[in-house]
Structure 1
């Protein structure tokens, strides 16, 4: 058995952009002491990501910072059109999922998606991380690292003083980007369509162009006889124009290209330029020993309307944080950590396939994924199914994704969102399952059995009596989770259903003990607290 960690640095995070900061926040909110090193001194001057999905906002809501993130701009999925220019002929609007009329995704979540630029979101996350005790070290670069069976040691360098220091930790999270030195050092290979092209872009202000967003379209594919580009808007008033080539342009040439994309002369102010690689690469595994890959270090994907880049990485971190906490606290065996790669790598690969099967990128992948089953944004964001040893009874015959209203509490799926009343307070069912393992049942035998199992295994289990939850008449407890009134549901701290029983009032303790032991890689008959 493993014992609770006594290390002064349980987790070291390398990389302090969106995903690294999110990982630090998720861990700190669970009481895990974390050191984060980031070689840069602040956010990139190019804002990069802009759309953060309902699921991402659910994660931020769970740790109490959802209200800090301003709801800038439209909450709907970004709409895109092919146009000759912004002010010229608009040719057609293009769908993200061909043939699917996307429903209002907010009906399936307590949160709305947020349109905010990455360079405006990161300072909010930094501030929250420091408040929660994260040891944030900016301007500090990892030089090398090594790991043993008992921990990780990283050599880091202060980029101002040049001083090097060793940091030891139980575990390390690599959030160090698509070119991840950590991943390369581990020798983890990547697969996918690979390099597609190098993109250059220019960021600029143009207040006059804002009026052309009134129809709700915010992304524009510019198609002219001798000029093709991609124009999009940031809700704070900035615009970015992406070119279809890797040519260096003078300031005068940049201004001329912007005028062509806009379709007429408008007052503009250049801010900065960017250059980045469009590629599709997924790591063949997301962990090696005590080191875990998150974000672009694990999956490199181009920008999409479904936000498969930063949002996927934030979800990686949310999946990993509770598992690290339970292992570090001695409630779970280290085998639980194997489920991270088992659950997240297939999701990264599915998102790779979905990206390059859609019209946006199909031709860039040589049409190799034509005919792939396409899942809508709602299914991909809120209805993906996971499978690992930390899920019991998920069923390999189920699809990898489906709209949330097509799921009903199957193991491996996110808990269905329903607005309910608890102690005269209106909450989402999602809010019930964000802190620890939770057993919910209308059957007192299950609740009493869970109490005994919790004491015997030394595992904290939240117990919820279904009768205390007031569901709407058309969607009661049994219908929401597709279990009989005397059944039980066991939900993980990331709101993923881990196991359920359709009923019974005998052998409840044995069933539950075996289920929790499998999920946490424990011995069902072990007495007392777990000992990593």
Structure 2
């Protein structure tokens, strides 16, 4: 990480990422892990001193597992829940606990995923992502801002300026990813509009430490809605010992006023160390399209959502990046047509909209959004994270009228949904099925005729397709057979994309398996 100028670094790249927070860094990590030449520019020199994101879902950890860094991120205990209660103060009278999804219990994590998620603050995770992206060859340029960009015949030309030296230079890239935040100048220049509940209010907050308050977490509640006459606030705890107090107004407070407010929230005059303050906008806005030409929106640039117990903010953006990375890789390698990139917005924009609806239909935010989403069906955490369904030309399915999300066990190999997690034996190693889908397309079948067809298509069509013989190369447990897991017969097959999403399945053996597989791959890759 250094100030890069045109005198000492290359200024041509396959992908330019603007924005170096969680989503931009994840995109750089996913792309560089695939060998894609990537330059990331970020106007700040490091992470924000007041992190907002602190919870990362099983799906996010699965993505990081796929690129080999999950072990660097401490995962949560399976029984941990992000619980919230209404209280007079932390040390005062406690009232009722408020559920995230009313009427639905949250089972222990680690049953439908090999991961359990992570409770780590954003400013602790971002250094890990930076280091790992750099290790894989990404070029990270901090303290560099985008001045302008224009799409050219064969790519994108961007004017950049080093904030340290004021030097201006140009980078040319095949594609541009805008991870430049909710206000996204790139999105605004593209003229992509947004819709949703819109602006709701401005939040002020203070970040602080208070060791004496830690024992009050022993009851398992980590978030507290403070309700006192003339004082309403929200208190939450970060796993590393920091606390955040959020105010229900947009008033700037002096240090003495901040300390007074913290005392009211805590209910006692406990020793406190102030760290910093913050100010941000609570809003719900989803871009009408996530791409235009050679430019792609990701993260808050595509979907502005407030922090939730469901992790619909940063986690959604990281999932954006994972969806896009393999598609850019295959297009840049000439394996897929650029038409494959059209499926990014087709798949991700409805996911952003679903999460918008789920956020503001829940009790946590309904009071701010009103009753406009009353009656919206609510999906549980596992359905939203591990059972969301995408639909595009990169998914082959004749099923219609399916819900946008469901518990992953209910899908059983449905095309458009993340492949099921099952612990299997692969060449003597215990792996999750998801570990098989981290790089290439994968065809799985117990029938050797499908396996031979997959080998032929990979060889003749030049596509990155691995064929895995179930029962020989991979063995499923007796209580979770391949056939039951993917809803196919012993002569059936399942094709999984490089992002772990089921692309296609055949219940039985086709008369010409090589032909049907070739046609399916051609459609998914956007080939004529």
Structure-2-length-normalised TM-score: 0.97
Structure 2 unaligned spans of 5+: 1-10
Secondary structure at 1:35 match in 2: strand
Alignment partner for residue 76 of structure 1, among 71, 74, 80?
80
Secondary structure at 2:110 match in 1: helix
- What's 1:56 paired with? 60
- What's 1:516 paired with? 521
Alpha-carbon shift at residue 460 of structure 1 (Å): 1.5
**Contact conserved, 2:174 with 2:294, CA < 8 A, in 1?**
yes
1:72/1:417 CA distance change after superposition, 3 Å: closer
**Contact conserved, 2:44 with 2:142, CA < 8 A, in 1?**
yes
What does the per-residue CA deviation read over 1:198-257, in whole Å, with 9 as the maximum and x for residues that have no partner?
000000000111111111110100011111000000011000000000011110010010
Secondary structure at 1:355 match in 2: helix
Q: Does 1:239 align with 2:248?
A: no
Alignment partner for residue 114 of structure 1, among 118, 138, 142?
118
Q: Does 1:330 align with 2:334?
A: yes
Alignment partner for residue 469 of structure 1, among 468, 471, 474?
474
- What's 2:279 paired with? 275
Partners of 2:29 and 2:59 in 1: CA distance: 16
**Contact conserved, 1:490 with 1:497, CA < 8 A, in 2?**
yes
Partners of 1:333 and 1:508 in 2: CA distance: 23
Q: Does 1:356 align with 2:347?
A: no
Partners of 2:22 and 2:334 in 1: CA distance: 29
Secondary structure at 1:217 match in 2: coil
1:73/1:461 CA distance change after superposition, 3 Å: closer
Partners of 2:296 and 2:137 in 1: CA distance: 22
- What's 1:527 paired with? none
Show the 5 A alignment for 1:321-470.
321-393=325-397, 395-467=399-471, 468-470=473-475
- What's 1:492 paired with? 497
1:199/1:115 CA distance change after superposition, 3 Å: same
Show the 5 A alignment for 1:177-188.
177-188=181-192
What does the per-residue CA deviation read over 1:57-81, in whole Å, with 9 as the maximum and x for residues that have no partner?
0000000011111236886231111
- What's 2:154 paired with? 150
**Contact conserved, 2:79 with 2:109, CA < 8 A, in 1?**
no
- What's 1:296 paired with? 300
**Contact conserved, 1:336 with 1:520, CA < 8 A, in 2?**
yes
Secondary structure at 1:264 match in 2: coil
**Contact conserved, 1:394 with 1:411, CA < 8 A, in 2?**
no
What does the per-residue CA deviation read over 1:186-209, in whole Å, with 9 as the maximum and x for residues that have no partner?
000000000000000000000111
1:305/1:465 CA distance change after superposition, 3 Å: same
Secondary structure at 2:222 match in 1: strand
Higher RCO, 1 or 2 (CA under 8 Å, sep at least 6)?
1
Alpha-carbon shift at residue 396 of structure 1 (Å): 2.5
Show the 5 A alignment for 1:14-33.
14-33=18-37
Secondary structure at 1:45 match in 2: coil
1:73/1:209 CA distance change after superposition, 3 Å: farther
Partners of 2:77 and 2:66 in 1: CA distance: 23
Q: Does 1:132 align with 2:136?
A: yes
Q: Count matched residues.
A: 517
Alpha-carbon shift at residue 363 of structure 1 (Å): 2.2
Partners of 2:444 and 2:231 in 1: CA distance: 59
**Contact conserved, 2:510 with 2:516, CA < 8 A, in 1?**
no
**Contact conserved, 2:78 with 2:109, CA < 8 A, in 1?**
no
**Contact conserved, 2:205 with 2:245, CA < 8 A, in 1?**
yes
**Contact conserved, 1:336 with 1:390, CA < 8 A, in 2?**
yes
**Contact conserved, 1:387 with 1:394, CA < 8 A, in 2?**
no
Partners of 1:168 and 1:396 in 2: CA distance: 42
Partners of 2:262 and 2:425 in 1: CA distance: 52
Structure 1 stretches of at least 4 aligned residues deviating more than 4 Å after TM superposition? 72-75
Partners of 2:510 and 2:57 in 1: CA distance: 41
Secondary structure at 1:108 match in 2: coil
Q: Does 1:37 align with 2:36?
A: no
**Contact conserved, 2:494 with 2:504, CA < 8 A, in 1?**
yes
**Contact conserved, 1:11 with 1:32, CA < 8 A, in 2?**
yes
1:68/1:130 CA distance change after superposition, 3 Å: same
Partners of 2:134 and 2:40 in 1: CA distance: 10
Alpha-carbon shift at residue 48 of structure 1 (Å): 1.2
Alignment partner for residue 313 of structure 1, among 290, 298, 317?
317
What does the per-residue CA deviation read over 1:284-306, in whole Å, with 9 as the maximum and x for residues that have no partner?
00000000000000000011000
Alpha-carbon shift at residue 398 of structure 1 (Å): 1.0
Show the 5 A alignment for 1:220-235.
220-235=224-239
Partners of 1:44 and 1:24 in 2: CA distance: 19
Alpha-carbon shift at residue 394 of structure 1 (Å): 5.5
Alpha-carbon shift at residue 105 of structure 1 (Å): 3.2
What does the per-residue CA deviation read over 1:98-131, in whole Å, with 9 as the maximum and x for residues that have no partner?
1111222321100011000000000010011111
